[in-house]
Structure 1
Amino acid sequence: MIYSSMKNFKYSAGFSTALVLFSCGNTKSQLPEIKPDTITEHVKYDTDDPAIWINPEDASQSIVFGTDKDTDGCIFAFDLEGKIIPEKSIPNIKRPNNVDLRYGFPVNDSTTTDIIAFTERERKMLRIYSVPDMKPLDGGGFPVFVEDANEEFQYPMGVSLYKSAVDGAFYAIVGRKTGPLENYLYQYKITPKSDHLVSFDLVRKFGDFSGKKEIEAIAVDDALGFVYYSDEGESIKKYHAEPAKGNEQLAAFGSEDFLEDIEGIAIAAYDDGSGMLIVSDQQRGQFNIYDRKTNELVRILNLATTETDGCEVVTVPLNDSFKNGLFVAMNDDGTFYYYDLGKLK
């Protein structure tokens, strides 16, 4: 998801120092640690990816959703103090991987709802729930990658939603645990049905894969119309999110900026088009920040996390702890770390 940005990036002395430390081949970040403001309660198994829902009536009552990745998994809901909200959590999910959220999906001609989507890998399904009432809209799940004859290529992993700035249509862009060198991602259009459920229609296959490691993190910049994904062993890749604009790769960047795996991507976006991409350098324990417009590396931060996969950001004020917005990162001890977005500036 996308929300805010970093205005007036500058190549400061601190950034120059970061580049020196980065280039020395250190396996762990040597940068000063930026501590989280809040750490969530522990989940049962393995945290993986967060999504943030902003409560339109009271931002202080916003919810952070996070996947707990196991056969007996869960989409946990947390409040802004990091406490689990049992009545908003979704249990008994068979290995949920990634989760994403969008606002204002038209259930019918007169009603809209916010939605979360997540992959349920062991059932080979994409799931859609309404927020905040947490009702399933998918009739139990939508099978993905069924067109691929290779069963090993049918297990979903990454997902990002996209709300078109062209016509307001909703899409899910889904990746998989293992896949081919071409057309690694499938894009499905999500439309309402008369029974208050949704339908899914495959509209395109796209996305090159290096064959090194895997592709998990996917993030879409709705306003600018771009989708980014982490080809973990090679680079961050960029395509048009709008199906009609074709499947040509627009850019590949960051190949020299990571120790090993290129992981979670969060897009912070401002209305004026400025912003940043925050990307996890997993083994080094750092986050690389790229300019939203140019995709140039502008900052490197040590946020005191370990082995971060997924991350997410919103830029509106939520409460006294998160006056500048909220950045959330998964940590490998079964928690999520919360930061006031001002700490990343």
Structure 2
Amino acid sequence: MKIYRLILVVSASLIISCDKKEPLIKPDLITEKVLYDTDDPAIWVHPTDPSKSIIFGTDKDTNGAIYAFDLDGKVIPEKVIRNIKYPNNIDLEYGFRLNDSTTTDIIVFTEREKNQIRLFSVPDMKPLDDGGFPVFEDEKNLELRRPMGIGLYKNPDNLSVTAIVSRKSGPENDYLYQYQLVSDSLGVHAKLVRKFGKFSKQKEIEAIAVDDELGFVYYSDEGVGIRKYYADVKMGNEELAFFGGEFFKEDIEGIAIASKENGQGFLIVSDQQKGQFNVFSRKDNSYIKAINLGTTATDGCDVVTIPLGTTFTKGLFVAMNEQKDFYFYDLSRLGL
């Protein structure tokens, strides 16, 4: 009986600990609202004037859009991409090579209802994909072709850019497909170069984040934990780590990588149902702490660690909020 009571006490304390929330950190600002359903942001840093940087964010609906915000959270109308059929996740890469003498920064996002990914140049917002690149084409079941998450990897050795794409549902193995973005005299194309990635068969896989510098890709297997692989196709398909699940209440969602010198930095991962974020070491993926930023049902997030203007002097963290907006925080306020 005494042992039974002890187990009850320990179990109750674990439940209380799991439900306990950290002190609230309020955002520096909240963006203007989108029309339908915010999901995932990507931060573009202006090359010469960081105060003119742009935050892109998906508005998820059958008549959705990619919104563009300035650092005051105001919509930049001329940069918004409209009439997108259910845009889901978005990522950004710098210096995509169009030809021997021309490069451009790019955003790539998933368009779920068309079973494809889209590619636009930044900041001029020109389509480079001739209407889109189909994904998961070898799947006969249409439900296994619905793209959700996306992460871009720029190989530091040959500067090639690949897109790693997840989907709404899929098999236990090879859940993700990786496409090389190739530019030639006929335009830009997407070439399938790899299938990889385990899936627990619980919930789904949406959030993907790539660490270009260290060469790793992370993704949230939402019901169980965070998985880590090499981003470079030539490094193979071995799972390098599987971690973090015990620190989340339920859905494990958006991942942002805060890079610092010498491989230091943080992974910031949304604990969706608890309304918090868990922070892990970029170097060894150990758990550091939880932070409460006041967002609700956060799917996607992004971060940069360089100063952006006078408000975000230590860097910028952006998180999706379910009230059709995004929250902006100076990175120093997260205690990172």
TM-score relative to the length of structure 1:
0.92
The C-alpha deviation readout for 1:248-292, integer Å capped at 9, x for no partner, is: 111100120100000000001123210100000000111000000
Structure 1 segments, 4+ long, off by >6 Å, are none
Question: What value does the CA root-mean-square deviation take over the aligned residues?
Answer: 1.3
Residue 26 and residue 309 in structure 1: after superposition, are their counterparts in 2 closer, same or farther (change >3 A)?
farther
Larger radius of gyration: 2
Pick the structure with more helix per residue.
2
User: Structure 1 regions of 5+ residues with no counterpart?
Assistant: 1-20
Contact 1:29 1:285 in 2 (8 A): no
2:149 to 158, 171, 176: 158
1:208 to 194, 198, 212: 198
Contact 1:263 1:281 in 2 (8 A): yes
| Aligned twin of 1:236 | 226
CA shift, 1:27, in A, is: 6.8
Q: Percent identity?
A: 61
CA shift, 1:193, in A, is: 2.0
Distance, in Å, in 2 between the alignment partners of 1:269 and 1:82 is: 24
Contact 1:28 1:283 in 2 (8 A): no
| Aligned twin of 2:4 | none
| Aligned twin of 1:94 | 85
Distance, in Å, in 2 between the alignment partners of 1:83 and 1:22 is: 44
2:315 to 307, 325, 330: 325
1:36-47 pair list within 5 angstroms: 36-47=27-38
Distance, in Å, in 1 between the alignment partners of 2:144 and 2:99 is: 34
The C-alpha deviation readout for 1:292-339, integer Å capped at 9, x for no partner, is: 011000111000111100000001101111000000000000000000
Please give the secondary structure, in 2, of the residue aligned with 1:74.
Answer: strand
Please give the secondary structure, in 1, of the residue aligned with 2:207.
Answer: strand
Distance, in Å, in 2 between the alignment partners of 1:101 and 1:302 is: 26
The C-alpha deviation readout for 1:189-241, integer Å capped at 9, x for no partner, is: 0111224x311110010001000000000000011110000000011000010
CA shift, 1:115, in A, is: 0.2
How many residues in Structure 1 have an aligned counterpart in Structure 2?
324
The C-alpha deviation readout for 1:133-182, integer Å capped at 9, x for no partner, is: 00000000000000112221001000000001232110000000111111
Q: Does 1:111 align with 2:102?
A: yes
Q: Does 1:130 align with 2:121?
A: yes
Q: Does 1:289 align with 2:279?
A: yes
1:262 to 248, 252, 256: 252
| Aligned twin of 1:9 | none
Please give the secondary structure, in 2, of the residue aligned with 1:256.
Answer: helix
Q: Which amino acid aligns with 1:231?
A: D
Q: Which amino acid aligns with 2:101?
A: S
Q: Which amino acid aligns with 2:30?
A: I
Distance, in Å, in 1 between the alignment partners of 2:172 and 2:21 is: 35
User: Structure 2 regions of 5+ residues with no counterpart?
Assistant: 1-11
Give the number of the structure with larger relative contact order, counting CA–CA contacts within 8 Å between residues 6 or more apart. 1
The C-alpha deviation readout for 1:75-98, integer Å capped at 9, x for no partner, is: 000000000001001000000000
Q: Does 1:84 align with 2:75?
A: yes
